[in-house]
Each structure stands twice: as C-alpha cells, then as structure tokens.
C-alpha cells in the first residue's frame, strides 16, 4: 500500500509538469520533460518578428540632371539622359529583386525552423507531422520557385506583380506559421489532457478505497468530477481550435477572405487559451486531491 501511495503523487507530478509548457506561459516552461521539449523549441523557433512586407520601390528623383532640363537641350544631351534613365530603371529593378529575395529567404528560414521542430517532436502523431511538414515544404518549394522567377524578371509590371504575391499568395507570417503554432499548441494540450485523464482514474480508485475504509470522500469526489469536466472541456476547445484553422488558405488579396482568416485565427487562439485555463484549473484541483488522499492514508 505504501508503494501505491507514492504512485499517485508521482503521476500527478508528471501531469502537472507537462502543463508547465511555454504554450501555457508558466514561469518554468523551459524545465519540461524530454518528451515535451520539442514544444519549447517549437515556440522559441516560431516566435519570429512579424516584420513589414516587401516595401514598394520609391519613385525616381525627378530633380535628377536639372541642369540639363531646359528648352535648348540638344539631341545628344537627350540621348545621354535617356541612357541614364535606362540605367536608373535597371538599378530600380535590381533593388526590387534584391529586397524581394531577402523577404523570400526570411520566410523560407522561418518555415524551415517550423518544419525542423515539428519533425523532431515526439508528441505529435505521425499523421499530423506529415500533414504539417508537407504543407510547409510545399510553401518552401513555391517560394523558392517564385524567387527564381523574380530574379529573372525584366519587366517592371511583371516584377511588381510577382513581388506582391510574396505576401498575398503565401501569407507565411499572417497565416501559415500561426496555423502551425495553433496546431502544435492544441496537440500539446490534448496530450496533457490524456495523461491527466489517466491520473484521474488512479485518483478515482484511491478515493473508492478511502470510502470503503469509512472516510468522508464527498468533497474530494466533487473536486475530481470538476477536474475531469475541465479536462474534457480542454480537449473540446483544443480540437475546435484545430478545426478552425486546418483548412485555411491564403486570401490572394481577397479582403473578405483575409478578414475571415484573421477572425478564424483569433477564435482559434481564444480556444487554445480556454483549454490552457481549463488544464491549469484541473492541475490545481489535482494538487488538492493528492493532499486529500495523503490524509486518507490511501
């Protein structure tokens, strides 16, 4: 019986430590067990600065060569000015291409970090890993191809359209990475909830033993029921969060779809927070149950 008494607090401690993950914003989030360490890595890797999108190229300085801009300009002068304008246009295109390449690489780097963290995880089911990593790799492949096309663009209109697509057609920072974070957070919450459910069954058995021994277990039984209700709600909220984001796609400039995507992400984050709150409350109640079981001597 003495060994059994040690089992419950130990299991509860494991469940409680699992909740202390970055997604739940606990102060000891870095001290998670080796099986859950990928979540800490994933969160740190995915907390990227949502920098500005590729900026539009500034207009040329119209005051350039003012000394030549007079009615008596010779044909030779006009030819020289045209040549300088052509050079300026080429430099403008080159600058746009350079800045676009930087923005594309920034997105590819962020996606690569997310993919690596997901692949190294041990809690995400293999099917979920495959879905996420395939989706991320598809984005990386498309962005790489876009970068190659932009580097070869010679027409300013085509180039500007391609640069615009970096943000509108992919939405890496506004959609893809938030989807990955939300999915990973939901998966963590569901895994913690699963372990806490196992622990709650152990609690139930010990409470039954205490009741058989004549102990008043009404209060601790009510606490266990409430903890289980919170664990169940955490599963419901986290599953709903995933359902809200799993099928979202870039808006491609459609303002209505962009607004819908933003709202879905906002709602999903709210559900993730609700699930986290449920699990924190359940954790506290588990601590109360452990203390009660110790007084019962079971």
Give percent above pLDDT 90 in the chain.
47
Highest mean pLDDT among 9-18, 76-85, 113-122, 172-181: 172-181
Mean pLDDT of the chain: 76
Give the model confidence (pLDDT) of 257-266 as tens digits.
Answer: 999 999 999 9
Contacts of 93 (CB under 8 A, 6+ apart): 153, 154, 156, 159
Q: Where are the beta strands (DSSP E) in the chain?
A: none
Predicted confidence at residue 87, as pLDDT, reads 66
Residue 102 has pLDDT above 80, yes or no: yes
Instruction: Copy the structure tokens of residue 120.
Output: 């190294």
Residue 140 has pLDDT above 60, yes or no: yes
Q: What's the whole-model pTM score?
A: 0.66
Give the model confidence (pLDDT) of 189-233 as tens digits.
Answer: 999 999 999 999 999 999 999 999 999 999 999 999 999 999 999
Predicted confidence at residue 122, as pLDDT, reads 61
- Cα separations (Å) of 21 from 15, 40, 187, 215, 244? 11, 7, 12, 36, 23
The Cα 263–Cα 279 span in angstroms is: 25
Give the model confidence (pLDDT) of 15-43 as tens digits.
Answer: 444 444 333 333 333 332 332 333 333 33
Closest of 156, 165, 169 to residue 96, by C-alpha: 156
Count of Cβ atoms closer than 10 Å to residue 157 Cβ: 8
């Amino acid at each position: 019986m003495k060994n059994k008494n040690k089992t419950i607090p130990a299991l509860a401690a494991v469940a409680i430590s699992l909740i202390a993950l970055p997604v739940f914003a606990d102060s000891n989030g870095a001290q998670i067990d080796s099986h859950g360490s990928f979540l800490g890595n994933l969160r740190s890797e995915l907390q990227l600065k949502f920098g500005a999108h590729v900026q539009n190229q500034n207009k040329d300085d119209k005051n350039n060569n003012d000394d030549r801009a007079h009615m008596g300009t010779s044909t030779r002068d006009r030819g020289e000015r045209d040549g300088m304008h052509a050079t300026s246009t080429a430099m403008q295109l080159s600058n746009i291409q350079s800045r676009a390449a930087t923005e594309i690489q920034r997105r590819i780097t962020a996606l690569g970090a997310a993919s690596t963290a997901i692949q190294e995880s041990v809690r995400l089911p293999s099917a979920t890993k495959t879905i996420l990593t395939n989706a991320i790799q598809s984005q990386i492949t498309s962005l790489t191809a876009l970068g190659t096309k932009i580097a070869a663009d010679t027409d300013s209109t085509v180039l500007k359209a391609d640069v615009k697509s970096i943000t509108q057609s992919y939405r890496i920072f506004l959609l893809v990475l938030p989807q990955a974070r939300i999915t990973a957070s939901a998966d963590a919450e569901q895994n913690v909830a699963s372990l806490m459910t196992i622990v709650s069954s152990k609690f139930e058995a010990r409470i039954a033993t205490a009741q058989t021994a004549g102990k008043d277990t009404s209060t601790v039984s009510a606490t266990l029921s409430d903890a289980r209700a919170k664990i169940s709600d955490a599963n419901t909220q986290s599953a709903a969060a995933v359902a809200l984001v799993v099928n979202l796609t870039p808006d491609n400039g459609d303002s209505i779809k962009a607004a819908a995507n933003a709202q879905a992400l906002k709602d999903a984050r709210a559900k993730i927070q609700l699930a986290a709150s449920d699990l924190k409350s359940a954790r506290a109640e588990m601590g109360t149950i452990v203390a009660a079981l110790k007084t019962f001597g079971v």
